[in-house]
């Protein structure tokens, strides 16, 4: 084992406070980014849902109808 005790591991020959502060800042920032990302995702999904509902309400339900028709065209290959 590289360290003689757990206390020596935590102090890391005087460098411990810097190392553990960096690890702490990293994990706090990663957690904050995850929370921010999830909140932003929910906001975007909610915005899209509201926009879709408003378009459907303004259209009078025409969004359910097909907007184009497709007919088969037979092409001769002479």
Residue 1 lies in a domain: no
Number of domains in the chain: 1
Residue 21 belongs to a domain: no
Q: How far apart are CA 23 and CA 11, in angstroms?
A: 14
Mean pLDDT of 19-46: 97
pLDDT over 60 at 28, yes or no: yes
**36 in any annotated domain:** yes
70 pLDDT above the threshold of 90:
no
2 φ/ψ angles, rounded to the nearest 5 degrees: -75, -30
Q: pTM for the complete prediction? A: 0.59
Q: Tell which residue, 13, 16, 34, has the closest CA to residue 24.
A: 16
- Please, which residues have CB within 8 angstroms of residue 26's CB and are 6 or more apart in sequence? none
Distance set, CA 73 to CA 33, 50, 69, 78 (Å): 54, 39, 13, 15
């Amino acid at each position: 084992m590289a360290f003689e005790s757990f206390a020596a591991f935590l102090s890391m020959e005087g460098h411990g406070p810097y190392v553990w502060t960096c690890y702490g800042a990293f994990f706090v920032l990663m957690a904050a980014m995850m929370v921010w990302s999830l909140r932003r995702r929910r906001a975007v999904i909610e915005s899209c849902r509201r926009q879709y509902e408003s378009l459907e309400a303004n259209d009078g339900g025409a969004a359910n109808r097909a907007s184009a028709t497709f007919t088969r065209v037979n092409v001769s290959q002479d």
